[in-house]
């Protein structure tokens, strides 16, 4: 097995933290760069959290700060979900210093040094950093093997009735990636709802031994608030689903589909209009993840994170 050279763009965020540990603990991925946007709780916190998560893993991966706002507006944070600190109040040791530079430049530098169609790019937040990188040097898109995003929904949203949080926070950036012309897979809210975490599941996972990363991941899962959308029974674990696709696509059922963004002002702004049945007659521009083997997913999550320091 040759590990996939991988760039992860994120905004930690509780589920981003778990997703980063899953990626860093998986031999299928050679994580070469972590870039950070403001997203969930503002850039000062998301960068500190990314540094702490990477530092606790013991992996020497550069973390580079990026966008504090979207292409056209400010990000809207979600401290009610992630806590004011972004990690649900779970305190981690401070990580290594940020690498110098800005995210879009670091993404381009990493791609320039890669072979054609070799790099997996995983986006776990608003994709502003990725859009800036490709908009300013579009020829580098040919170095990308696949883009994997946690974004969007084909049904209802979670930040507005129409839109999912990451897509809504920078819909113009997401529109750019949808039309980049590279293979793109999307884990939407409809998919991540199947990675459903309940108190009973957390208690079951806690029976597994593991190091500091696993213990921190369990504390984060135990701290997250139950979702109103799911009757306060638990919550979906969004971002690790995108990483799991890059590691173990056999866990998913998927189909080819066409998607475009609603960029108009008004209540539908940020909606991912996803044509699952070919009604528009447009050629597919993404692999839409539709079903998940949830027990196998949580086994993978536990096995990989528990093996970290």
> Would you name the residues annotated as active-site residues?
238
Helices (H) and strands (E) in the chain, counts: 12, 11
Both tokens of residue 179? 């039309």
Cα separation, 195 vs 167, whole angstroms: 20
Q: Which residues contact 13 (CB under 8 A, 6 or more apart)?
A: 39, 40, 41, 46, 49, 82, 86, 124, 125, 239
Give the N- to C-terminal CA distance of the chain in Å, as an integer: 23
Is 196 within 8 Å of 236 (Cβ atoms)?
Answer: yes
Instruction: Give the C-alpha distances (Å, rounded to integers) separating 61 from 116, 119, 245.
Output: 22, 16, 21
Instruction: Give the C-alpha distances (Å, rounded to integers) separating 46 from 189, 191, 239, 275, 290.
Output: 22, 25, 15, 33, 29
Q: How far is CA 69 from the centre of its chain?
A: 17
């Amino acid at each position: 097995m040759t590990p996939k050279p991988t760039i992860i763009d994120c905004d930690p965020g509780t589920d981003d933290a778990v997703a980063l540990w899953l990626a860093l603990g998986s031999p299928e991925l050679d994580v070469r760069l972590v870039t950070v946007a403001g997203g969930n709780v503002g850039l000062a916190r998301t960068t500190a959290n990314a540094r702490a998560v990477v530092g606790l893993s013991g992996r020497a991966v550069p973390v580079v700060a990026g966008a504090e706002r979207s292409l056209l507006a400010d990000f809207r944070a979600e401290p009610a979900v992630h806590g004011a600190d972004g990690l649900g109040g779970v305190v981690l040791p401070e990580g290594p210093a940020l690498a110098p530079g800005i995210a879009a430049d670091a993404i381009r530098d990493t791609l320039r040094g890669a072979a054609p169609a070799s790099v997996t790019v995983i986006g776990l937040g608003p994709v502003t950093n990725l859009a800036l990188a490709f908009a300013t040097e579009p020829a580098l898109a040919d170095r990308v093997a696949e883009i994997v995003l946690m974004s969007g929904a084909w049904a209802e949203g979670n930040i507005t009735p129409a839109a999912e949080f990451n897509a809504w926070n920078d819909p113009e950036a997401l529109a750019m990636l949808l039309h980049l012309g590279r293979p793109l897979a999307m884990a939407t809210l409809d998919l991540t709802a199947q990675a459903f975490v309940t108190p009973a599941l957390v208690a079951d996972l806690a029976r597994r031994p593991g190091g500091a990363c696993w213990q921190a991941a369990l504390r984060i899962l135990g701290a997250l608030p139950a979702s109103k959308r799911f009757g306060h029974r638990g919550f979906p674990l969004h971002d690790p689903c995108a990483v799991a696709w890059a590691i173990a696509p056999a866990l998913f059922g998927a189909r080819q589909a066409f998607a475009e963004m609603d960029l108009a002002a008004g209540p539908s702004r940020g909606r991912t209009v996803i044509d699952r049945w070919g009604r528009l007659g447009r050629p597919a521009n993404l692999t839409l993840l539709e079903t998940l083997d949830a027990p196998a997913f949580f086994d993978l999550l536990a096995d990989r994170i528990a093996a970290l320091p």
